[in-house]
Chains A and B, each alone.
Chain A
Amino acid sequence: DADVTQTPRNRITKTGKRIMLECSQTKGHDRMYWYRQDPGLGLQLIYYSFDVKDINKGEISDGYSVSRQAQAKFSLSLESAIPNQTALYFCATSDRTAGMDTQYFGPGTRLTVL
Chain B
Amino acid sequence: SQQGEEDPQALSIQEGENATMNCSYKTSINNLQWYRQNSGRGLVHLILIRSNEREKHSGRLRVTLDTSKKSSSLLITASRAADTASYFCATDQAGTALIFGKGTTLSVSS
Given A99-B30, A100-B48, A42 and B41 contact (CB-CB distance below 8 Å): no
- The answer on a CB contact under 8 Å between A48 and B2 is no
Given A100-B31, A100-B92, A101-B92, A41 and B45 contact (CB-CB distance below 8 Å): no
Interface residues on A, range: 20 to 34
For residues 38 through 71 of chain B, which have their beta carbon under 8 Å from a beta carbon of chain A?
40-45, 48, 50
- In the assembled complex, B27 has its CB within 8 A of some CB on chain A: no
| Number of residues on chain B facing chain A (CB within 8 A) | 25
Bound together, the chains give a CA A110 to CA B6 distance in angstroms of 24
* B83-110 Cβ-contact flags toward A at 8 Å (1 or 0): 0000010101000011111110000000
Bound together, the chains give a CA A43 to CA B89 distance in angstroms of 11
Chain B nearest CB, measured from A60 CB (Å): 11
Given A99-B30, A100-B48, A107 and B42 contact (CB-CB distance below 8 Å): yes
Choose one: B33, B35, B97; the contact of A45 (CB below 8 Å): B97
* B17-39 Cβ-contact flags toward A at 8 Å (1 or 0): 00000000000001101010000
6 A–B contacts, CB within 8 A, in A order: A42-B2, A44-B2, A48-B97, A56-B97, A103-B43, A104-B45
Interface residues of B (CB under 8 A from A): 1-2, 9, 30-31, 33, 35, 40-45, 48, 50, 88, 90, 92, 97-103
Interface residues of A (CB under 8 A from B): 1, 4, 31, 33, 35, 40-45, 48, 56, 58-59, 88, 90, 92, 94, 99-108, 110
